Structure 1
Amino acid sequence: MNDTNQIVDPVYNFAASPAFASDQIIFAARASGLYRSMDGGQSWQNAFDSLQSQEPIPASWVAVSPSFAQDQQVFAAVPGGVLRSEDGGQTWTVAMLATPTPFITALVISPNYAVDHLILAATMEDGVFRSTDGGAHWTAWNFGLFDLHIYCAVISPDFSRDQTVYLGTESGIFRSLNGGLGWREVDFSVEHAPVLSLALSPNFGQNNTLFAGTESAGLFRSGDGGQTWEKVISAEQVGSVSAVLNPKSVDVLVLGDEIILVSRDAGKFWQNWQDHLQFEDQLLCLAAPQGVESGAPLWVGLANGEIMQV
């Protein structure tokens, strides 16, 4: 157990370096700040220490550049804005979003970031903000977005071609086919909302498969980009679905209130990640930077502030 495990504050999400297998860098956003590990999660340090703030700066989300190995860019959502680092989290600059200050629930970065410099920030009550200059400036962009209460966001791995982004909201799911410039509601029953988590297949450009995790209706899968849906896990099995990962087209990880389920066949059959695995509090987030193969590291973040490798 390390220093961050002693701090009782929620862990909101993880972001690992795309080159994690070699550099061992992973970040954790939490209520007391942004924590960075450079040894594969063995020890953690507050990456905001260089800001010399008298009070903790909560980080609600963290994202790293797809070209992190080259540009060392990290983005952290903080109250009212986004902190940007170009040296792997050593130093930071701030860009404010709007007044009154929005609460950022997710940051998604274009897979083609080295060329388009596009980042989207989803917020709890103010819709979506776009940046096309690497997070230096932000503009609200909510054309067609009739529900501004956003809980999650995902961007297509084939974004340079299809320009597709999905949002999970209080009332359902919205999709953009032009890089977040305009939004249209997806045919997802409001009875199943709110949508807390989304995941796209890494082969989304070919199979159009996405997963939607809900607060009280279980997990749903679509194989046609969101036109039709089927329930693949019931709420009785998992409770709230706070996170979904689809690191390979056939491997899917689902994080429920107190359980982790894995499917090896794209969501047809599910089993416990580990038998007899128990947690002391609600599970909020997970990270599997090297996939879900046997022996690959998997981290979970709990509501009580604990970070566990399982």
Structure 2
Amino acid sequence: MKQILQKTQWLIVVFLIPLVFSCNKEESRPTFPLSAEIFHSADGKQVAFSGLTHSAVSWHWDFGDGNTSNEKDPVHIYDQGGYYLVTLTASDASGASVTKDVTLALDLTAYDLLVGDPTKEGYDGKTWKLSATHSPDDILANSDVNLSLFDEDIPSLPAGAFDLFLGLPEAYNDEFTFYQDGKYKHNTADGTSFGGIVYAIVMQQFGQTEITKTGGEDVLGQDAFAITKYEPDDNATFELQENTDYVLPSAFPTGMTPSGIPVVTYEDVTTIDFPGTDEFVGIRDFHQKVIIQNITDDSMRLVMFLTLSPDAIVSQNPLIALATNAVVLTFNVVK
């Protein structure tokens, strides 16, 4: 009987040893600190979010468009594309919290690409500058509906064209900044700007500018461009319109206005204009409105119009000049 009791006690000890170690192991299990990360996937303007958290018992999402959610893994549909700063606040049982955020770029429009991401820290608009290297698509054209080449022997503008062939390196100096709220800032760097010579001569006659330099005679047979003194408008704004028809007074008309002004219509284009101001982007001339031919996050190609013949001024009051030419130029983001 005594031997049976001893064996029973031994079995109990053997059985309890794993339990003791198991309890000790359970007691030493680490407690993870409160943490959060955001995972997301987008399909158009619909975004699925996941809050990857430790020790959290509640979640609060701010989607950056005025909408919120307390779900751990919400799905949100934005009304329109653009840049959004999404914030996740995760809290634990003690009330402590941690915050993470992520920036979304959804279905970006030409406007979004032009003005940049306003959610970035220190956002100060998006600044563009004429590319001195040019691209194969940069051309001097006629102001006809197809933007045909002005000179078949010049299929595209070579790198540094305005410097090397016109002697006007100042053409590449100006910087143009577009803001999300529609504000526009123009930095001339040296107090001058690049533009067409006919416009420069007319404005000089009106006492509104002063020509400091001209160029083009060696290549084009006559001076076609000019550097003029210019003071930017600190209160300027811009307007961007998509899918619009741009009706332009042109020496290559496709129609006439009721008052008899010949015009060309560029259908279904995206334009930038500067209403109520003398401001412009790229080239200073009679026609401030430009066409965005292409735009990405770091470059854009604009079509700007010029009047290169004084005979194309068809009215003095009001001043109406027919565009004779177009210049297609590439701009890059200033970083």
TM-score, normalised by the number of residues in structure 2: 0.21
More helix by share: 2
Q: Report the structure number with the largest CA radius of gyration.
A: 2
TM-score, normalised by the number of residues in structure 1: 0.22
